């Protein structure tokens, strides 16, 4: 193997641009490995480990290109190609020869100086590398902008300080690690194309918010605002700062008639505070705090939902009901099985998928008390790109008596040991840090997910493969490119149950994805919770051939 490396000096490129060059080199003839990354100390060390010899004189503002190939010619060609691709664009801080137009702004102050008066932006979307994100957020807050921090790896102390600063100035700080928002109808980062309407969403869970908003859309109900607050907002350290501020904003927003608050399990004290504020808004609030029995602690006016889909249905009914009737609602069936909505858009699809049978509590109870399943094909593999979707699936499965192991375990699940073989029922969050270090998130590039699917389909002990496909802005433009061939090629093997989180108005329409999956033999459920139930059902199905 021939190892070649080179440096493009003072040439910052964002992670998406670097991955694009990396992928291009990796696809070159004779190249077995290519890495194109900013020359941080960690990346330089990794390059040395990979066999890059000689002094690597590069710093974090330089790009390091590393190529491993089977011949010197291939390695040299790929290296030259990579360096050329990086330097093809003009450095905006230096400018280009004879470029007549305005040079791009390289900092927030420059960009704001070019947007005077009524054209000034009011929201900053920050997606720079984590160690630099807090500084950019601070600059944006100082300029009077609301801030959404997409970046992760931001220290929690910085998050606390930024949120305190934002609150003191009447500015909302969404994130860090905030993947989604729809503000005044404008999607930021990962968001689906949903209609506008009376339901305001707030939550510390990206795909959870996407699931609720798309479920609402399919019920014909639109969204006024969708406000992500960042994965850590409901932790004790942050204290729900942004969630509370967002609830007050929605409470005062005349366009918002019903509020939905979504979260993975929050800190108990923070959850009480959030529900208390939710109860004070003077409008109905649906709370889905996954794994928390909201009904036990919720004040009047706050309705608990056990699943994301249920939260959407509840919010839809509240939004459609005359205000006078809203008091009559009672939170339904917490923790119990979720019935298909009669007349709901996908009820027919679900019924068809279930072969005419509905999921019943009895089925679940029977399995929970354990008819021992000793058939060779007996395990479930859940392979999720959406963290909250995988989490919800675990809770639904647990409620149906299926205990799983996971790298991101929900209450009642077992922690998946590192390096241990996959034995038993497993739900993997493929968007977790251990899978996204130096690789794109599976929502952007499903290649990692597809490799896991291929493995699961080959595994003779796997009975059901459970997947999510998340659509929308920011997500892969061809989410089935790797998956469909795997499904079409097989003659037998595990059942494949899929939930497609998206709308028909998304850049990749949900309907097209669903149709393609069904043609390939997958069972497509109408919601994430329904997919988990269907997976549990297929796991128990007596007619399933070993």
Partner 1 sequence: MNASTNPAMNAAIDDSARDGLFGPSPLGVLNVGLSGFAGAVEAAGGRVSPVAWRPPAGADPDRAWRLAVALSDAEVAAANATAVAAFLAADPVLVDVSAAATAIAALGGGARRLLHAGPPIDYADMCGPMQGALVGAVLFEGWAGDPDAAEALLRGGAVATEPCHHHGAVGPMAGVVSPSMPMWVVEDRSSGRHSFSSLNEGLGAVLRFGANGPEVLDRLAWMRDELGPVLASTLRLTRSGEAGGLPLRPIMAQALHMGDEVHNRNAAATGLLVRRLLPDLLASGAPVAALGRVATFIGGNDHFFLNLSMAACKAMLRAAEGVPHSTMVTTMARNGVQFGIRVSGAGDRWFEAPAPVVDGLFFPGFGPQDAAADLGDSAITETAGLGGFAMAAAPAIAQFVGGTPADAVANSRRMQRIGIGRNPAFTLPPLGFAPTVAGIDVRRVLDGGVLPVINTGIAHRAAGVGQIGAGITTAPMGCFLAAFDALFPASGS
For the segment 106-125, give every residue that binds partner 1 (CB under 8 A).
106-115, 118-125
Please provide residue 104's backbone torsions phi and psi, each rounded to the nearest 5 degrees.
Answer: -65, 150
Contact (Cβ atoms closer than 8 angstroms) between residue 39 and residue 59: yes
Ranges within 8-67 binding partner 1 (CB under 8 A): 12, 14-16, 59-61
Binding mask of the shown chain, residues 185 to 224, with x at each position contacting partner 1 by CB under 8 A: xxxxx-x---------------------------------
Q: With residue 117 as reference, give the H or E element that holds it.
A: none
The least distance separating partner 1 from the CB of residue 18, rounded to whole angstroms, comes to 11
4: β partners = 67
Reduced to 3 states (helix: H, G, I; strand: E, B; else coil), residue 258 is strand
Ranges within 76-95 binding partner 1 (CB under 8 A): 92-93, 95
Reduced to 3 states (helix: H, G, I; strand: E, B; else coil), residue 7 is strand
What Å distances lie between residue 414 and 410, 424, 428, CA to CA? 8, 11, 12
Ranges within 438-497 binding partner 1 (CB under 8 A): 473-474
Asked whether position 168 contacts partner 1 by CB under 8 A, the answer is yes
Whose Cβ is closer to partner 1: residue 32's or residue 106's?
A: 106
The least distance separating partner 1 from the CB of residue 130, rounded to whole angstroms, comes to 9
Binding mask of the shown chain, residues 239 to 258, with x at each position contacting partner 1 by CB under 8 A: -----xx--xx-xxxxx---
Taking CB under 8 A as the criterion, the residue among 26, 48, 128, 508 binding partner 1 is 128
Ranges within 266-285 binding partner 1 (CB under 8 A): 276-277, 280-281
The least distance separating partner 1 from the CB of residue 155, rounded to whole angstroms, comes to 10
Asked whether position 164 contacts partner 1 by CB under 8 A, the answer is no
Contact (Cβ atoms closer than 8 angstroms) between residue 431 and residue 449: no
Asked whether position 98 contacts partner 1 by CB under 8 A, the answer is yes
5: β partners = 66
Cis peptide before 176 (omega within 30 of 0): yes
Output the DSSP codes for 78-109: HHHHHHHHHHTSPPTTT--TT--SPPPP-SHH
187: β partners = 182
Ranges within 493-532 binding partner 1 (CB under 8 A): none
Whose Cβ is closer to partner 1: residue 128's or residue 422's?
A: 128
- Alpha-carbon distance of 305 to 293, in angstroms, equals 9
Taking CB under 8 A as the criterion, the residue among 6, 30, 129, 335 binding partner 1 is 129
What is the side-by-side order of every strand in the sheet holding 285-289? 186-189, 180-183, 223-228, 196-203, 258-263, 285-289, 302-304
- Alpha-carbon distance of 43 to 47, in angstroms, equals 6
Whose Cβ is closer to partner 1: residue 168's or residue 545's?
A: 168
Whose Cβ is closer to partner 1: residue 57's or residue 110's?
A: 110
The least distance separating partner 1 from the CB of residue 189, rounded to whole angstroms, comes to 6
7: β partners = 64
Whose Cβ is closer to partner 1: residue 191's or residue 514's?
A: 191
Binding mask of the shown chain, residues 365 to 394, with x at each position contacting partner 1 by CB under 8 A: ------------------------------
Asked whether position 424 contacts partner 1 by CB under 8 A, the answer is no
Taking CB under 8 A as the criterion, the residue among 225, 307, 413, 448 binding partner 1 is 225
The least distance separating partner 1 from the CB of residue 383, rounded to whole angstroms, comes to 25
Q: Which residues contact 512 (CB under 8 A, 6 or more apart)?
A: none
Whose Cβ is closer to partner 1: residue 335's or residue 507's?
A: 507
Stretch that binds partner 1, among 28-36, 67-75, 98-106, 333-341 (CB under 8 A): 98-106
Question: In whole angstroms, how large is the CA radius of gyration of the chain?
Answer: 25
- Alpha-carbon distance of 213 to 199, in angstroms, equals 9
Asked whether position 237 contacts partner 1 by CB under 8 A, the answer is no
Whose Cβ is closer to partner 1: residue 103's or residue 455's?
A: 103
Which of 369, 380, 291, 388 is CA-nearest to residue 335?
Answer: 291
Asked whether position 232 contacts partner 1 by CB under 8 A, the answer is no
Contact (Cβ atoms closer than 8 angstroms) between residue 140 and residue 125: no
Please provide residue 428's backbone torsions phi and psi, each rounded to the nearest 5 degrees.
Answer: -110, 130
Whose Cβ is closer to partner 1: residue 244's or residue 410's?
A: 244
Asked whether position 151 contacts partner 1 by CB under 8 A, the answer is yes
The least distance separating partner 1 from the CB of residue 39, rounded to whole angstroms, comes to 10
- Alpha-carbon distance of 490 to 521, in angstroms, equals 10
């Amino acid at each position: 193997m021939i190892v070649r490396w080179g440096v493009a000096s003072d040439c910052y490129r964002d992670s998406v641009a670097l991955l694009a060059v990396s992928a291009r080199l990796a696809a070159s003839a004779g190249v077995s490995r290519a890495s194109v990354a900013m020359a941080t100390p960690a990346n330089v060390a990794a390059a040395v480990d990979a066999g890059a010899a000689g002094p690597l004189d590069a710093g974090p503002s330089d790009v390091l290109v590393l190529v491993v190939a089977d011949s010197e010619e291939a390695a040299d060609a790929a290296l030259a190609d990579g360096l050329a691709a990086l330097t093809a664009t003009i450095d905006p801080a230096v400018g280009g020869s004879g470029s007549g137009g305005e040079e791009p702004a390289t900092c927030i102050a420059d960009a704001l100086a070019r947007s005077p008066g009524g054209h000034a932006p009011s929201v900053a979307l920050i997606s720079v590398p984590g160690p630099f994100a807090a500084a950019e957020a601070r600059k944006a807050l100082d300029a009077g902008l609301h801030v959404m921090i997409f970046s992760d790896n931001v220290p929690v102390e910085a998050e606390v300080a930024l949120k305190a600063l934002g609150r003191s100035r009447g500015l909302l700080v969404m994130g860090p690690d905030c993947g989604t928002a729809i503000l005044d109808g404008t999607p930021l980062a990962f968001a689906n194309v949903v209609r506008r309407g009376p339901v305001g969403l707030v939550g510390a869970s990206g795909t959870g918010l996407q699931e609720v908003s798309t479920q609402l859309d399919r019920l014909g109900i639109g969204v006024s605002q969708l406000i992500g607050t960042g994965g850590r907002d409901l932790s004790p350290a942050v204290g729900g700062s942004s969630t509370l501020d967002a609830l007050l904003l929605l409470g005062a927003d005349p366009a918002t008639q019903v509020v939905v608050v979504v979260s993975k399990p929050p800190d108990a004290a923070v959850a009480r505070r959030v529900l208390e504020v939710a109860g004070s808004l003077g409008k109905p609030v649906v709370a889905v705090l996954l794994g928390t029995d909201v009904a036990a602690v919720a004040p009047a006016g706050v309705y608990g939902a056990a699943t994301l889909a249920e939260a959407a249905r509840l919010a839809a009914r509240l939004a459609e009901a005359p205000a006078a009737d809203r008091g009559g609602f009672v939170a339904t069936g917490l923790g119990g099985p979720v019935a298909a909505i009669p007349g709901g858009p996908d009820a027919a699809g679900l019924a068809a998928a279930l072969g005419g049978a509905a999921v019943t509590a009895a089925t679940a109870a029977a399995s929970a008390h354990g008819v021992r399943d000793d058939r060779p094909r007996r395990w479930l593999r859940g392979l999720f790109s959406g963290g909250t979707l995988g989490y919800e699936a675990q809770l639904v499965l647990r409620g149906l008596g299926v205990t799983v192991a996971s790298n991101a375990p929900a209450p009642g699940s077992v922690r998946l040991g590192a390096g241990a073989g996959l034995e038993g029922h497993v739900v993997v969050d493929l968007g977790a840090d251990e899978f996204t270090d130096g690789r794109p998130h599976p929502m952007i590039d499903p290649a990692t997910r597809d490799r896991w699917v291929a493995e699961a389909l080959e595994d003779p002990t796997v009975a059901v493969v459970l997947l999510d496909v998340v659509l929308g802005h920011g997500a892969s433009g061809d989410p089935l490119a790797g998956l469909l061939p795997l499904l079409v090629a097989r003659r037998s093997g595990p059942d494949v149950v899929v939930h497609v989180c998206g709308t028909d108005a998304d850049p990749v329409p949900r309907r097209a994805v669903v149709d393609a999956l069904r043609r390939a033999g997958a069972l497509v459920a109408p919601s994430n919770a329904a997919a988990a139930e269907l997976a549990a059902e297929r796991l128990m199905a007596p007619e399933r051939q070993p």
